[in-house]
Amino acid sequence: MGDPGPLVSCAWLQENWIDKRDPNIVLLDGTFHQPMWQRDADAEYQECHIDGALGFDFRVIRDTSHQMPLMLPPAAQFEKQVGELGISNDTHVVVYDNNAKFGFYSVGRDWWMFKVFGHDKVSVLDGGLPKWVAEGRPTVSSEQPQITPAVFKATYRPHLVREMGQIMDNYHIKKEQVIDSRPKGRFDGTAPEPNKSLHSGHILGTTNVPFTELIHPDSKTLKSKEAIKEVFEVAGLDLSKPTVLTCGGAVVAPFVAFAASLIGAEIPVYDVRLSVPLSL
């Protein structure tokens, strides 16, 4: 198979998964929907997914002891739950999600979780399930297939994660430039957050780079590397400087981290809801 890189096309997946069923690949449907959208990712998976794809739910693969939802799980828990999906350290993981509005939404967090726990053999399907379906490629309706468990050993990478204390300290020392990945209305405070318990607005001193700016508005595929660079440059950001990404719940910020990785920037993500005081 060779290394396909971090972003794969529908044509590549058709050849290497549907046609050849490469045994080194595990395909994951990592769809997540915000509660306000009133969509059921589990039901949608059963109704329509790429043949052989397994459901990957970071609402389940999370730190259940933490009061905040969607926090990264302990390494041992990630090892166990990923191993139960038949993923080993030798597996090439391909992830996609199902969001026709944006093209990409939760898949960035799926990618980031594997990177945080030391797994570099992970790729994102460009355009996700909507593009796959639009191209007339095969899907199935079924429950999760039988899985042969595997052994996965995690290597936690703390440099890819920021916690609340680090964000608060950074406000005073200004060591890292902070990028807020939410849509402009939520950043400005003119649009509500998907989670009603959170207020929109932003931490003072942050720069807004909406994740949608990195996606082609028509094809819902990722923009070119040159266009990605331009998005950050127009925002006045130099990604050679220390940088950290935030959003409302560590869902879309990892997608921006993914896009930035394609142009050689490794940016950590704040792994908690935007619950630091906005007036910092």
Domain ranges of the chain: 7-140, 158-270
CA 102 – CA 220 distance, rounded (Å): 6
- Could you check whether 7-140 and 158-270 share the same CATH topology? yes
Active-site option among 41, 53, 247, 269: 247
The residue ranges of the chain whose pLDDT is under 70 are 1, 63-64, 66-68, 195-198, 201, 272-280
Q: Could you tell me what percentage of the chain is helix, strand and coil, using 3-state DSSP and rounding each to the nearest 5?
A: 30, 15, 55
Look up tokens 């990945």; give the residue. Answer: 181
Task: Say which CATH architecture domain 158-270 belongs to.
Answer: 3-Layer(aba) Sandwich (3.40)
Superfamily of 7-140 according to CATH:
Rhodanese-like domain (3.40.250.10)
pLDDT the model gives residue 36: 76
48 is catalytic: no
Pairing of strands 243-246, 25-29: unpaired
49-50/139-140 β-pairing: antiparallel
pLDDT of residue 251: 87
DSSP annotation of 99: -
Side-chain half-sphere exposure of 74, counting CA atoms within 13 A: 6
- What span, in angstroms and rounded, lies between the C-alpha atoms of 165 and 58? 23
User: In the structure encoding, which two tokens stand for residue 72, read together?
Assistant: 């990264």
> The whole model's pTM is what?
0.91
Model pLDDT, residue 274: 47
How many angstroms separate the CA atoms of 34 and 41, rounded? 10
CA 262 vs. chain centroid, Å, equals 14
Q: Where are the beta strands (DSSP E) in the chain?
A: 7-8, 25-29, 49-50, 54-55, 92-96, 122-125, 139-140, 161-162, 177-180, 207-208, 243-246, 269-270
Residue 190 is predicted with a pLDDT of 74
Q: Give the integer Cα–Cα distance in Å for 253 and 106.
A: 10
- Stated length of the chain: 280
Q: Convert the pLDDT of each residue in 171-196 to its tens digit.
A: 777 789 999 998 888 888 777 777 66
Mean pLDDT estimate for the chain: 90
The type of residue at 17 is W
